[in-house]
Amino acid sequence: MKAGGALLEAEGLVRRYTMRRGMFGRAVDVRAVDGVSLRLERGRTLGLVGESGCGKSTTGRLVLGMESPDAGSVSFDGRTMPAPGTAAWRALRMRMQMVFQDPLGALDRRLPIGAQVIEPLDIHGIGDPAARAARVQELLRAVGLRPDQAARYPHELSGGQRQRAVLARALATDPALLVCDEPISALDVSIQAQVMNLLVELQERFGTALLFISHDLRAVRQVSHRVAVMYLGRIVEEGEPDAVLHDPAHPYARALVSAIPHPGRGGRRIVLQGDPPNPADRPSGCAFHPRCPVASARCAQDVPPLKPRADGRLVACHVAHGDAAAGQGTDRQEAA
């Protein structure tokens, strides 16, 4: 482990899929993730936001080694991620867990909650039977469930209780990183705030870093220390939540933020023109240019590099940097 280094670093991740147009159509190469680089410090939260299909969930799976990238690399705690399925990968994965959107789908309906929370401890041979049983009780309390609810089956719990059980299971091996993929979007609105508060509380208590993937900007703002906005497989803006979510610099981020209902806030909602992008038919230059309200002539030709502005945030936009400066900075997105 490198002292003082980031917990998680991803460099130039690319993930391609092959799609066929129609039954006999030609195969098309789709880049779901197209040169994404991330850095997450210990005990901190990086919020990853964007529309459905922008590549944020695929990025989460690449980071955990659930899928292999076609290019790029991931390092965790200073070590390059081993090949999926190897003993070294399983040992690292014990310290990186995933929380999925649908708690009912993530749990085994045939097993009581307690048996599912204890399972990772059994798999990794952590503690003796008495210590494991005590750990289950401790974890259930930590997530706001009663120890006697260990005997309940998933269908006997509410949606919020099920997501608490999923969190207890994810925390069983004391992971340093949780990748939370839309962890509240399947829950009732009345329960979402409870689960969000619980995530913040658990992070403070256990020091777990979170990669928080969501299309819900209010949720992202609540938990994140840093925010990255994705569009069509690339990060287009990254920085402190106060900057990115209050005064976005990228036109796409501005449109996303303008759609958040905010009583008393001035400003109008920006309605994007044109169809949502088709990853199989990526526009030339800046992929956002067909929908961008401030596109200039060069936007259809030159890919804007993701590069720092004077205020410290990273932005991939010719206009946000001033046309003259475009293309001269560090191009993290093009690294792949």
Binding region for ligand SF4 (CB under 6 A): 250-251, 286, 288-289, 292, 294-296, 299, 304, 317-319
Q: Shortest Cβ distance from residue 319 to ligand SF4 (Å)?
A: 4
Q: 10 Å Cβ neighbour count for 246? A: 10
Q: Shortest Cβ distance from residue 262 to ligand SF4 (Å)?
A: 23
Phi and psi angles of residue 155, each rounded to the nearest 5 degrees, phi first: -70, -10
With respect to ligand SF4, which residue has the nearer C-beta, 223 or 319?
Answer: 319
CA–CA distance, 262 with 99 (Å, rounded to integer): 29
DSSP, collapsed to helix, strand or coil, labels residue 137 as helix
Q: Sign of torsion, CA 2 5 7 8? A: negative
Tell me the HSE value of 34 on the side-chain side, using a 13 A CA sphere: 23
With respect to ligand SF4, which residue has the nearer C-beta, 81 or 317?
Answer: 317
Q: Shortest Cβ distance from residue 232 to ligand SF4 (Å)?
A: 11
Q: Shortest Cβ distance from residue 53 to ligand SF4 (Å)?
A: 18
- Distances in whole angstroms, Cα of residue 56 to Cα of each of 207, 242, 313: 23, 21, 19
Q: Shortest Cβ distance from residue 220 to ligand SF4 (Å)?
A: 20
With respect to ligand SF4, which residue has the nearer C-beta, 226 or 318?
Answer: 318
With respect to ligand SF4, which residue has the nearer C-beta, 64 or 317?
Answer: 317
Do 144 and 191 form a contact (C-beta atoms < 8 A)?
A: no
Q: Shortest Cβ distance from residue 334 to ligand SF4 (Å)?
A: 14
With respect to ligand SF4, which residue has the nearer C-beta, 8 or 316?
Answer: 316
- Distances in whole angstroms, Cα of residue 271 to Cα of each of 54, 160, 255, 293, 297: 18, 33, 7, 9, 21
With respect to ligand SF4, which residue has the nearer C-beta, 183 or 304?
Answer: 304
Q: Shortest Cβ distance from residue 211 to ligand SF4 (Å)?
A: 25
Do 228 and 235 form a contact (C-beta atoms < 8 A)?
A: yes
From edge to edge, which strands make up the β-sheet containing 96-99?
96-99, 177-181, 209-214, 45-49, 226-231, 234-239, 314-315, 307-308
With respect to ligand SF4, which residue has the nearer C-beta, 162 or 289?
Answer: 289
Q: Show the tokens assigned to 135.
A: 């750990």
